[in-house]
Amino acid sequence: MATTLFDKVWDSHVVRKIEDGPDVFFIDRHFIHEVTSPVAFLGLKNRGVDVLFPERTFATADHNTPTINQHLPVADPLSANQLKALEENSAKYGISHWGLGNPKNGIVHVVGPENGITLPGMTIVCGDSHTSTHGAFGCIAFGIGTSEVEMVLSSQCIMQPKPKKMRINVNGKLGKGVVPKDVALYIISKLTTAGATGYFVEYAGDVFENMSMEGRMTVCNMSIEMGARGGMIAPDETTFNYIKGREKAPSGEAWDKALAYWKTLKTDADATFDIEYTYNAEDIEPMITYGTNPGMGIGITHAIPTAEEVGGGKATYEKSLGYMGFAEGQDMIGKQVDYVFIGSCTNGRIEDFRDFASIIKGRKKADNVIAWIVPGSHIVEAQIREEGIYDILVAAGFELRQPGCSACLAMNDDKIPAGKYAVSTSNRNFEGRQGPGARTLLASPLVAAAAAVTGKVTDPRELLN
Amino acid sequence: MAYDKFEILKDSVVPLPIENVDTDQIIPARFLKATKREGFGDNLFRDWRYNSDDTLIRDFVLNNPIYKGKILVGGKNFGSGSSREHAAWAIYDYGFRCVVSSFFADIFKGNALNIGILPVTVSEAFLAEIFGEVEKDANTQVEVNLPAQTITILSTGSQESFAINGYKKHNLLNGFDDIDYLAAMKEDIKQFATASHY
Ligand code: SF4
């Protein structure tokens, strides 16, 4: 029978099928961080059970960490407590731990791929919804809750009903200034934040085939924002080239064997999906969000739609625009921006900083803007320096911070103040996500750069050569 | 973590007729710093319940004493956004055992079931009827019957069936969780792991 990439990976990981129940689903790799793991470890302790396969779990500190002065003790006692719990639990159970100050430390979904821990055909989970990022390698990867973290620690399995299958095709050539983040925001604006609930998505078409691994990670990362369990892209030469030579990637004979397997990981030509959508690359503009969910995005040159145009609940829509301080029909171009955040597991990789630098090079940071430039990992930070991007940042009046989740969820000190507008390359613009009362405009690194140098929402195409 | 068994719940409801209630609203990220699973109910819907100076926002439903009960009724697409299980803990810890909506976000639904909260998906019309009845009488009683998989508005007699998979139903009825199940099949899992690609 013809099967999809998703079927191939899913079916090969089912340990047991429970009648009228979920599948017992085997997990190859498990990432943990300081926020969603302590209670899971406490659960293990209370039950008196051990970690079944400690070598399959990897710990990194990221959600709660400061992005300046990481060499100093963490000031917030609650954060410090969580970091300590992660370190102690990892040591106790023999789990590899990249804590603060470790040269491999960084955001969980950035360090997994860059160290070759993430490999095609794996099943990967983490107590963070953007685990979907790893789908870029042809993995089934998704976020789980803390009870499930405990399940994976104790049994390397979780209970999962198999989701339905969706394929999203985007074909054609992306226009100038249109980058993977725009593709993701465009798809979500079409499907809405619940449009893919219950589905696992495969992205296909030449736009994704021609995309770099960084770009594919950005797209898969955002899958969760349309309600999908996750998203994946079939591995190809781009994938294999990215993986080759990374620290934990197979080498020698093991590489050849792995490669032969990876090449089988694709959807058969006659396989079918429960639902399929197709879009044209030419229709996608640089995108920006105007509301309080990631589905409320528009092409940057467009006006904020009316409640009638978007459909759905009018009261909810008005509440959202009220929070943002926007009104129906207003243009997004020219709106004042107070903060710019580039970073997160969505857009905190080297390519994102290259994009950012391409616009700010030879320009100056706008006086009214506070910019937080946060690499996704120490490895990304080192690349920023090596490639001369650091010098471009400094010459333009920007500072570089240290790696972490930072203003993506604002659990550390990087909070956007109430009422302020932030153009952010992260993934969520919910009320208060970037700090109580913060107003978030999600966008690509190019749009963020354009805002950072002009102090307002600006079409990046006007600043690109 | 063990939780109370769920069978039949008959109670008044707390109405929250807002769509797309995301988990950042249910429990804001700044309250995720705990290393224990306690006290989350105090911060349930924190920013809707309290002003920034910690004074009560009077017109938010949880602050209105006429609405009480173990059943929370929310608008469409309840629990979207972040995967934080803390959202479900906060709801449980506050005292809810059942959440009714016309649509639930996937992860929230899974998290809820794992910790002993029953998510009940009803039709849009049924949801509207609950909201309408509660508006007329805050003490409107709703009965959620897990064995029969039905939900009934007692004042009007309207009833709908809801779906739940047999495995989860069995767990809820008995107060079991998945970890208990998995612990019993450890040998099978070890064998499976030996044969896997990674
Ligand atoms: S950057 Fe944001 S989405 Fe990514 S892992 Fe950190 S908190 Fe989660």
Q: What is the dihedral of CA A450, A454, A456, A462, to 10 degrees?
A: -50
Contact B75 A316 (CB under 8 A): yes
Q: Which two tokens stand for residue A56?
A: 């399959």
Select the residue of B20, B30, B183 nearest A49 (Cβ to Cβ).
B183
Prediction pTM value: 0.88
Whether residue B100 is predicted with pLDDT greater than 90 in this model: the reply is: yes
Residue holding tokens 């209630």?
A: B21
**A417/A464 Cα distance (integer angstroms):** 31
Q: Which helix (H) or strand (E) holds A232?
A: strand A230-232
| Residues of chain B above pLDDT 70, percent | 99
Mean pLDDT of the region B115-127: 97
Residues flagged as binding site of A for [4Fe-4S] cluster: 345, 405, 408
Residues in CB range of A263: below 8 A, 6 or more apart: none
**A277/A415 Cα distance (integer angstroms):** 37
Say if ligand 1 is within 6 A of residue A82 CB. Answer: no
Q: What is the pLDDT of residue A26?
A: 98
Q: Which two tokens stand for residue B44?
A: 């349930």
Which of A:64-83 have CB within 8 Å of B?
64, 76, 78-79, 81-82
A232 with A346, same domain: the answer is: no
A160 with A295, same domain: the answer is: no
Nearest CA to A153 among B179, B165, B17? B179
Q: What is the pLDDT of residue A373?
A: 97
Residue holding tokens 């050849």?
A: A256
Number of folded domains that form chain A: 2
| Residues of chain A above pLDDT 70, percent | 100
Which of A:244-283 have CB within 8 Å of B?
261
For residue range A145-160, what is the model confidence (pLDDT) as tens digits?
888 999 999 999 999 9
Sequence-distant contacts of A115-119: CB under 8 A, at least 24 apart: A115/A246, A115/A247, A115/A248, A115/A379, A116/A243, A116/A246, A116/A247, A116/A248, A116/A249, A117/A29, A117/A58, A117/A248, A118/A29, A119/A243, A119/A249, A119/A250, A119/A258, A119/A262, A119/B198
Q: Collect all residues of chain A within an 8 Å Cβ-Cβ radius of residue B178.
A: 147-148, 151, 158-159
For residue range A292-317, what is the model confidence (pLDDT) as tens digits?
999 999 999 999 999 999 887 788 89
Mean pLDDT of the region B22-26: 92
A84 with A227, same domain: the answer is: yes
Which of A:335-374 have CB within 8 Å of B?
none
- Give residue A260's domain range: 1-285
Nearest CA to B30 among A78, A183, A438? A78
A271 with A297, same domain: the answer is: no
A242 with A298, same domain: the answer is: no
Whether residue B2 is predicted with pLDDT greater than 70 in this model: the reply is: no
For chain A, give the mean pLDDT. 96
Q: What is the ipTM of this complex?
A: 0.89
A232 with A355, same domain: the answer is: no
A318 with A172, same domain: the answer is: no
A114 with A47, same domain: the answer is: yes
Of A256, A285, A314, the position where a domain reaches its end is A285
**B141/B155 Cα distance (integer angstroms):** 7
Q: What is the pLDDT of residue A266?
A: 98
For residue range B133-182, what is the model confidence (pLDDT) as tens digits?
999 999 999 999 999 999 999 999 999 999 998 889 989 998 888 888 89
Q: Which two tokens stand for residue A258?
A: 């792995």
Q: Which two tokens stand for residue A160?
A: 């999962």
A387 with A451, same domain: the answer is: yes
Distance from CA of A260 to the nearest CA of B (A): 12
Q: What is the pLDDT of residue A146?
A: 86
Cβ atoms within 10 Å of B124's Cβ, excluding its own: 11
Band the pLDDT of B1: cuts 50, 70, 90.
low
In one-letter notation, the amino acid at residue B164 is I
Cβ atoms within 10 Å of A424's Cβ, excluding its own: 31
* CB-based contact A194:A302 (threshold 8 Å): no
Which residues in chain A come in under a pLDDT of 50?
none
Contact B106 A261 (CB under 8 A): no
Distance from CA of B87 to the nearest CA of A (A): 10
Q: What is the domain-level CATH number for residue A369?
A: 3.30.499.10
* CB-based contact A293:A321 (threshold 8 Å): no
Q: Which of A62, A132, A134, A429 to mutate to test the pocket of ligand 1 (most atoms within 8 A of CB)?
A: A62
Of A285, A300, A319, the position where a domain reaches its end is A285
Vertex A399, ends A356 and A352: CA angle to 5°? 20
Q: Which two tokens stand for residue B22?
A: 């995301």
Q: What is the pLDDT of residue A417?
A: 96
Residue holding tokens 């998979």?
A: B165
Say if ligand 1 is within 6 A of residue A427 CB. Answer: yes
